[in-house]
């Protein structure tokens, strides 16, 4: 079977593409190689995929004619491509075009395929709002442009399932970390600061924030659990993440323990829209998908530290 992975040169997309290949699927990746962060990391990810015979095409969902540049016959689409995170350097147009418009264009492409693929949308706990501790049935209250536009993208996908024009599902991911994590994210920055004697920018109050820090391979386990359970997943939303909560302060202490060093910090003003707590409620995923994340924070951070040392 043949699968399309959007955002394949990104953090979670690249890991998922590798897992799909390992499972025996023919994997085609696309990525627009956005300069949101250092392109060197995306190119490094794409190189790793190429070495596993996974080709990543430089295509932009918003502007490129996918039908003219991609072959037919996809059985699944895994949609990771998005403008991520909370950044004061990003405009609303960045989030709108990359998260909403790009998703709509991809859905139009999927609808026109001779054999309509199962559409797996990758969403986020930011959809819930400032606290993300709820089951999927709770009305979302996003508090950032990122959360608002990812909710809109999710609803575009689910609308197609309600209209019975496509089959698909949406996974809301919680605080993912691990090898290939973006350089602007918590743990890559912490490891970089610890190894290279840099000062870590700590947003006011964030050391008390609670997070379901979830190792990337545990997230991929949940994503690929869709295979064989398409009827169960169709039209449904699932939370994926660990139920274990840790504070940012505990995360910093864990990295310091691994590196055997003290990381200097510099206080920064709090970020608007930053979540104060995430705790993945995975009752639904556990019951219907047999989802059961196992990796401890320390074990995952040891793997991420090793990756950073080997690549930077």
- CA distance linking residue 312 with residue 295, whole number of Å: 24
In angstroms, the Cα distances linking 54 to 3, 4, 46, 47, 57 are 11, 11, 8, 9, 10
Q: Is 277 helix (H, G, I), strand (E, B) or coil?
A: strand
- Distance CA(300)–CA(298), nearest Å, equals 5
Percent of all residues in the chain with a pLDDT value above 90, rounded to a whole number: 92
| Cross-strand bridge partners of residue 31 | 58
At the topology level of CATH, where does 2-175+216-243+281-289 sit?
Answer: Rossmann fold (3.40.50)
Continuous segment of H or E residues that includes residue 249: helix 248-259
DSSP state of 278: E
Task: Using alpha carbons, list the distances in angstroms from residue 225 to 19, 77, 120, 230, 235.
Answer: 12, 14, 11, 9, 15
> Quick check: helix, strand or coil at residue 124?
strand
Query: What does the pLDDT look like over 236-265, one tens digit per residue?
Result: 999 999 999 999 999 999 999 999 999 999
* Whether pLDDT at 183 is above 80: yes
Q: Residue holding tokens 């990758």? A: 122
265 has which bridge partners? 200
- Judging by DSSP bridges, how do beta strands 246-247 and 210-211 pair with one another? antiparallel
Handedness of CA 140, 146, 149, 154 (dihedral sign): negative
In DSSP notation, 30-84 reads EE---TTS-HHHHHHHHHHHHTTT-EEEE--TTTS-HHHHS-S--SEEEE-----
- Residues of the chain within CATH 3.40.50.720 domain(s) are 2-175+216-243+281-289
List every span in the chain annotated with CATH 3.90.25.10: 186-209+245-280+295-311
- Answer yes or no: are the C-beta atoms of 157 and 170 closer than 8 Å: yes
pLDDT band at 134 (very low <50, low <70, confident <90, very high): very high
Give the chain's mean pLDDT: 96
Q: Could you report the per-residue pLDDT of 269-299, keeping only the tens digit for each?
A: 887 778 889 999 999 999 999 999 999 999 9
Count the neighbouring beta carbons within 10 Å of the beta carbon of residue 242: 25
Q: Give the active site residues.
A: 146
Q: What single DSSP character describes residue 98? A: I
pLDDT at residue 51 tops 80: yes
CA distance 172 to 160: 18
Hey, which bits of the chain come out as E strands? 2-6, 26-31, 55-58, 76-79, 118-124, 131-132, 167-173, 176-177, 200-203, 210-211, 214-215, 237-240, 246-247, 265-268, 277-278
What is the distance between the alpha carbons of residues 172 and 284, in angstroms, rounded to a whole number? Answer: 12
Is residue 210's pLDDT more than 90? yes
pLDDT band at 87 (very low <50, low <70, confident <90, very high): confident
* Region 186-209+245-280+295-311: CATH code: 3.90.25.10
Q: Which residues of 185-215 are buried (b: 16+ CB within 10 A; e: fewer)?
A: bbbbbbbebbbeeeebebeeebeebbbbbbb
**137 CA to centre of own chain:** 21
pLDDT at 18 over 90: yes
């Amino acid at each position: 079977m043949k699968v399309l992975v959007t955002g394949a040169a990104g953090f979670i997309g690249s890991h998922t593409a590798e897992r799909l290949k390992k499972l025996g699927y023919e994997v085609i990746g696309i990525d627009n190689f956005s300069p949101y962060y250092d392109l060197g990391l995306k190119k490094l990810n794409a190189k790793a995929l190429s070495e596993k015979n996974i080709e990543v095409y430089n295509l932009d969902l918003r502007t490129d004619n996918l039908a003219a540049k991609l072959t037919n016959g996809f059985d699944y689409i895994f949609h990771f491509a998005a403008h991520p995170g909370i950044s004061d350097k990003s405009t609303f147009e960045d989030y709108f075009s990359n998260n909403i418009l790009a998703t709509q264009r991809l859905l139009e492409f999927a609808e026109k395929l001779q054999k309509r693929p199962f559409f797996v949308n990758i969403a986020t706990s930011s959809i819930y709002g400032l606290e993300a501790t709820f089951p999927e049935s709770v009305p979302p209250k996003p508090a950032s442009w990122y959360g608002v536009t990812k909710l809109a993208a999710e609803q575009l996908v689910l609308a197609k399932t309600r209209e019975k024009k496509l089959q698909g599902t949406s996974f809301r991911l919680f605080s993912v970390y691990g090898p290939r994590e973006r350089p602007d994210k918590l743990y890559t920055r912490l490891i970089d600061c610890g190894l290279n004697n840099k000062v870590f920018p700590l947003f006011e109050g964030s050391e008390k924030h609670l997070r379901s820090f979830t190792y990337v391979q545990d997230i991929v386990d949940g994503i690929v659990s869709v295979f064989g359970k398409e009827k169960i997943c169709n039209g449904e939303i699932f939370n994926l993440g660990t139920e274990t909560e840790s504070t940012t302060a505990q995360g910093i202490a864990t990295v310091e323990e691994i590196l055997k060093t003290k990381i200097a910090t510099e206080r920064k003003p709090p970020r608007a829209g930053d979540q104060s707590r995430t705790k993945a409620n995975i009752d639904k995923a556990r019951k219907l998908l047999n989802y059961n994340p196992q990796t401890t924070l320390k074990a995952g951070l040891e793997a991420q530290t090793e990756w950073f040392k080997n690549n930077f």
